Amino acid sequence: MMKANRRMKGISPLVAVIMLIAFTLIVAGILAGFVTQLTETQRASAEHCVDARVLLKKGTYTAADDSLKLTIYNYGKVPLRLQALLTYSNETLHPQGTYIHNETFDVSNGKIELFTINGVKDDLIEVTVKSVKCDPPCYECPAAQDFLKYTDIKGIGY
């Protein structure tokens, strides 16, 4: 039996190089578009957040209905959506000691707003308000946050 002398045929090296270059350019174009969009989003957010400021002016705890009234002043130039984080001293009742309040508060720029949080316990040691994600015209600005210690909250009896 004779072996057939067959030669495997494939694409020429020149065509392979051209295909690799084309593939590389396509991937580079897709990545460039993605990076450009991401950079533009980050720049816009940073541009607005430069002037984001919030002040937690006052807190008043009422034991009768377990409520905490917060007076919040947005003295920045952008509207914000804020969320409260409540830190408790008794970790047995409050795992990890911190409770993230699900309700958010919208505070227009240049405004003082009063918000009430229900279900607050008297072993509260700190309340923090921080900016959270929202849709324009408000912005998420991580540096826009403030807190009150229990000594600054009227009605907490330590």
Q: What is the mean pLDDT of the chain?
A: 86
pLDDT at residue 44, rounded to an integer: 67
Angle at CA of residue 102, ends 144 and 115, nearest 5° = 65
Among the CATH numbers 2.60.40, 2.30.30, 2.40.420, 2.40.50, which is that of 55-154? 2.60.40
Peptide bond between residue 79 and the one before it cis (omega within 30 degrees of 0): no
Tell me how long the chain is.
Answer: 158
Interatomic CA distance for residues 56 and 70, integer angstroms:
7
89-106 confidence digits (pLDDT tens) = 887 677 778 888 888 888
SS3 category, 2: coil
Domain regions of the chain by residue span? 12-49, 55-154
10-19, 26-35, 65-74 — which is least confidently predicted?
10-19
Please tell me the distance from the alpha carbon of residue 141 to that of residue 122, in angstroms, as a whole number: 30
